[in-house]
Amino acid sequence: MMDEIKEFYEKTKFQINQEIRDVDNFKPPINWIKIFFKIYPRMKRINLERPTSWGEFLNLLKRRKSIREFKDSPILLSSLTNILHYSVGIKNPEDSLKDTKRYYPSAGARYPIETYILNNNIQELERGLYHYNVKYEQLEQLLKEDLRTISTEIFGEANKGNPNFIVFTGVISRTEVKYGINAYRFALLEAGHIGQNVYLLAEKEGLGCCGLGGFDNDRLCKLLDIYEDEIPLYAFSLGEPAE
């Protein structure tokens, strides 16, 4: 991984449960809470007609939202399977592996994203850490262990109700060989594309999820046993919504 990418990553890492001092009567500044829009008031405007119906896809888009409170109850393995396949899986497995495509765009088709699952609440699956093997559509059990406590240490308040966690990492060198320093930016964009798939698929499965950009990077890397070239980019809590 290029030194410039490594330096930026190190400077933007998070740590969970750092001491934060409360300030009495603190009022957040307006630009923390106000939603801003850019408008050209003197320019000509053309009204656009919205489509009246796009069936289930439009309904999923409308219902999509971040869920932060979960029931402490297991989800179906089949639901996780569907979410993994249609978010990061191979969409044309009948073709040669060198010609396969995914359900999301990837710069130069380099596919730097790897997927891990912290299983805290999945039926028919032992608790622990898993890696999603895209090539053979399998879960590889990396660690057989109750990870609910360490999930709180890594993800903090996001672990209310003991949800599961999907973690996307980036093997930056795969994209770096073609795009140099832009590899990190492209990997982040790619993780974002996948993230929207996860949101919509979770909604389709009747599950709640929440995209997480803040987690303890170092503890997560230690758990995943990844170093140097592979770095965590994005994570999702996933479980039965409390509501």
Q: Specify the pLDDT at position 152.
A: 95
Query: Tell me, what's the pLDDT at 23?
Result: 66
Tell me if 63 is assigned to some domain. no
For residue 227, tell me if it sits in a domain.
yes
* Residue 54 covered by a domain: no
3-class secondary-structure state, position 74: coil
What crossing angle do the helices spanning 183-204 and 77-88 adopt, rounded to 10°? 140
Q: Tell me what pLDDT residue 21 has.
A: 60
Which stretches in the chain have pLDDT values below 70?
17-23
The number of domains in the chain is 1
Q: Which domain holds residue 93?
A: 3-13+68-239
**Cα–Cα nearest to 168, from 121, 228, 112:** 112
Per-residue pLDDT, 98: 85
Residue 215 near residue 237 (C-beta atoms within 8 A): no
Q: Give CA separation, 133 vs 40, 106, 115, in Å.
A: 49, 18, 8
Asked whether residue 126 is domain-assigned, the answer is yes
**CATH number of domain containing 141:** 3.40.109.10
Instruction: Tell me if 41 is assigned to some domain.
Output: no
Residue matched to tokens 């672990």: 159
Structural domain includes residue 18: no
Q: What's the predicted TM-score (pTM) here?
A: 0.93
Cα–Cα distance, 26 to 8 (Å, whole number) = 31
Whole-number Å distance between alpha carbons of 15 and 155: 9
Angstrom distance (rounded) from CA 159 to CA 152: 5
* Residue 233 belongs to a domain: yes
Give the pLDDT confidence score for residue 123 in this predicted structure: 96
60 lies in a domain?
no
